[in-house]
Amino acid sequence: MGPSGSGKTTILKMIAGLSEASAGVLLLDGKDARLLPAWERGIGMVFQNGGLYPHLTVYQNIIFGLDRFLADKNKLAEEVEKTAALLGISELLERKPGELSGGQRQRAAIGRAIIRKPKILLMDEPLANLDPGLRRQLRDELMALKNRLDLTCIYVTHDQTEAMTMGDRVVLLNRGYVKLYITRARSKNLIISSMPLWLKPKLPK
């Protein structure tokens, strides 16, 4: 969590292998991931705008790139059907992104990320462009999905309530530096008193 320009997206890109870290060590499973190409890191990523290819169907978007590694077409179709059912988009597989609502596009983008069974799922403000009601609904769905699949997630947000509701650990960034690190195990009073005034959230009841 942090203001625009604090380095949130840059960190996600470095973890995913989309940007190169200029210094330091990036450890994944105890190994320096900087030595691994992006496709060997076991990372899934969901972008703020979904990042779907507009000329491809939802089915084609979900399997994009995966079909190079999984030659069995029947197995591939089975995995897509499982993923789509999990996200409630089974009836949308033959549609293109332009025919979907904002929430449906994000579900398709999440499907493309999780079908690869990633070790870590990176999410870059995936709900930022949605209206408040749909945002709350998808936030609950993401939490349920994370718990069901036992996923490790790194979630970027500007929304303080979202961070406090969803995060087991919360890192506050500003200008590339960690200004605060808190865990859910700490008391709500301690969390609030440790935060800058401009970031004090309305904590969920």
pLDDT in tens, 110-161: 999 989 888 899 999 888 878 888 888 888 888 888 888 888 899 998 888 8
Instruction: Write down the CATH number for the domain with range 8-165.
Output: 3.40.50.300
What distance in Å separates the CA atoms of residue 91 and residue 99, rounded to the nearest whole number? 12
* Residue where the block lists tokens 């990372």: 43
Q: In which residue ranges of the chain is pLDDT below 70?
A: 67-71, 184-205
pLDDT at 199: 47
- Per-residue model confidence (pLDDT) at position 181: 86
pLDDT of residue 195: 46
Instruction: Tell me what pLDDT residue 74 has.
Output: 83
Q: pTM to 2 decimals?
A: 0.79
Q: What one-character-per-residue DSSP string does 48-110 give?
A: TT----TTS-HHHHHHTTGGGT---HHHHHHHHHHHHHHHT-GGGTTS-GGGS-HHHHHHHHH
Tokens of 53: 């290819």
Q: What does the pLDDT read at residue 134?
A: 81
Cα–Cα distance measured from residue 107 to residue 140, given in angstroms and rounded to the nearest whole number: 13
What's the pLDDT at 126? 85
